Structure 1
Amino acid sequence: MRIAVLSDIHANREALQAVLEAVERLRPDRLVLLGDLVGYGPDPGFAVEMAQKLAAAGALCVLGNHDEAAVHGPSGMTAHAHEAALWTRTQLSSEQCAFLAALPLTATLAGALFVHASARTPQAWPYVTDERSAGQCLAASEAALIICGHTHQPALFYARPGHEPVRFTPRRNLAAPLSALRRHVVVVGAVGQPRDGDPAACFALLDTERAEVTMVRVPYDRQATARKIAAAGLPEWLGMRLQIGR
């Protein structure tokens, strides 16, 4: 089975449209949305509307912390994230808020566990950023493969039985193997706000038959998104960071 995994869209219409065009060309068997449909970006209504349509067509979708903040109000967020969450709430319909509120924290497909942040207390939104946090994520689940987002930085963690995970940084558009002798945490990067120094949108293509995952990078019109961020009155830095991928 080939599964396209999109995380951290962050209300970036231009990035989402470019990625969905790439997904259509790849023709995966299933689509998974890993949360944070909204937050930071200027088009939250469009992002949720597309997620609703994709879910109606069979896509899996889980909740992200920015989705939760848009529905229930921000708490413990950075100043920019807090401001964007309050603005986002004013842009969503009651139906769209209800859709976000009903999203689950986790989903399973083809033996893999999908979660926005980590399998370890997913409702607390911990980050998987290093070997220690990857080990905690694996310890919280029996799944051999856990797919998550949240950090906006693509990464793979390989774990042999009885050993700490080892981190690997995947190359753009090159498949990385997933060994049957190891457990894995795959962090898929971000569609709408990459932070790994590459400003191109990122999504993952998981191939369970070939036992590999590819971080697919897709260029998009970042300047158009930045202009809309400024026009909406959102913090200027949210547009600037799209240009540098940080």
Structure 2
Amino acid sequence: MLLAVLTDLHANREAVEACLAHAKERAADQYAFLGDLVGYGADPGWVIDTVMAYVNRGAYVLMGNHDLGVLQDDRKDMNPTARFVVEWTRQNLNEVQTNFIRELPMQFELDQCLFVHANAWAPERWEYVDGAMEAARSMRATNAQITFCGHVHTPSLYHMNHAGKVATFTPSPDVSVPLSKLRRWLAQPGSVGQPRDGNPAACYALFDTQQLELTFFRVPYDTETASQKVLAAGLPASLAHRLIHGA
């Protein structure tokens, strides 16, 4: 099975459309959405409706911290910008969309793989895997050979040998990486809706579950339209700027 792994969509319709079209062109069989469907972007309802349609065809989907924020009154752990957008998002979702978020799980497993939004040691606490130490902690918290997670808006790949030594691999777009069974792996596809590595192109990955090969992609999209929609919605200008510059 060729599985498209998308995370941190962040209500960015233009980026989501581009990545889904890209995956379809490459004959993806199934889709996994690793949370943060909403937040930051101007099209939360459209993104949730689209993910719901994919779920009806068998796709997998997780809850992210911004999704959970829509359901909560107490958001003290979020920065002021994120809190503002989450409250705006809540007012722009209908009951069906909100109930869909409410039922999302924190993790799921598929064959030898674990899928979480943030990390494997405490998915509900939203702590970041942003270095080798955290990657090791996450991999040691599960028996899965391969862990997929989001939350960090940059693409990364970590691997751990039998002795527990962890190394970081910087993936190149469009280059297939064989995931050896002799190692444990943690893959972060990067953000569809709000990349933060200086490259505004949307991120996602394709995983061949039979061949155990993972390919990262960068997909250009209409950042100008997406950013203008953020401004038109009355959301912070810094979020529009970030879409243009990818940082």
Shorter-chain TM-score: what band?
over 0.9
Counterpart for residue 56 of structure 1: 56
Amino acid at match of 1:142: N
CA distance in 2 between partners of 1:196 and 1:179 (Å): 27
How many residue pairs match? The answer is 246
Unaligned runs of 5+ in 1: none
Cα drift, residue 217 of structure 1: 1.2
Unaligned runs of 5+ in 2: none
Q: How does 1:1-246 map to 2 (within 5 A)?
A: 1-73=1-73, 74-246=75-247
Encode CA deviations 1:12-53: one digit per residue, 9 max, x unaligned.
000011111111111122210000000000000001101111
**Bigger mean CA offset, 103-112 vs 208-217:** 208-217
Amino acid at match of 1:71: L
Cα drift, residue 108 of structure 1: 1.2
CA distance in 2 between partners of 1:227 and 1:50 (Å): 21
Amino acid at match of 2:7: S
Cα drift, residue 211 of structure 1: 2.0
CA distance in 2 between partners of 1:80 and 1:121 (Å): 25
Encode CA deviations 1:94-124: one digit per residue, 9 max, x unaligned.
1111100100000111321001100110000
SS in 2 for 1:15: helix
Q: Is the 8 A contact 1:199 1:242 kept in 2?
A: yes
Q: Is the 8 A contact 1:120 1:126 kept in 2?
A: no
The TM-score normalised by the length of structure 2 is 0.97
Q: Is the 8 A contact 1:192 1:201 kept in 2?
A: yes
The TM-score normalised by the length of structure 1 is 0.98
Amino acid at match of 2:121: R
SS in 2 for 1:5: strand
Displacement over 6 Å in runs of 4+: none
CA distance in 2 between partners of 1:118 and 1:61 (Å): 15
CA distance in 2 between partners of 1:93 and 1:220 (Å): 27
CA distance in 2 between partners of 1:135 and 1:22 (Å): 32
CA distance in 2 between partners of 1:242 and 1:99 (Å): 27
Q: Is the 8 A contact 1:157 1:165 kept in 2?
A: yes
Amino acid at match of 2:65: N
Cα drift, residue 216 of structure 1: 1.2
Amino acid at match of 1:122: P
SS in 1 for 2:185: strand
Identity of aligned residues (%): 42
CA distance in 1 between partners of 2:87 and 2:214 (Å): 36
- RMSD after superposition: 0.9
CA distance in 2 between partners of 1:36 and 1:82 (Å): 14
CA distance in 1 between partners of 2:79 and 2:70 (Å): 14
Q: Is the 8 A contact 1:131 1:164 kept in 2?
A: no
**Bigger mean CA offset, 30-39 vs 75-84:** 75-84
CA distance in 1 between partners of 2:238 and 2:175 (Å): 31
Cα drift, residue 139 of structure 1: 1.4
CA distance in 2 between partners of 1:205 and 1:161 (Å): 26
SS in 1 for 2:226: helix
**Bigger mean CA offset, 33-42 vs 70-79:** 70-79
CA distance in 2 between partners of 1:117 and 1:149 (Å): 6
Cα drift, residue 177 of structure 1: 2.1
CA distance in 1 between partners of 2:199 and 2:216 (Å): 12
SS in 1 for 2:215: strand
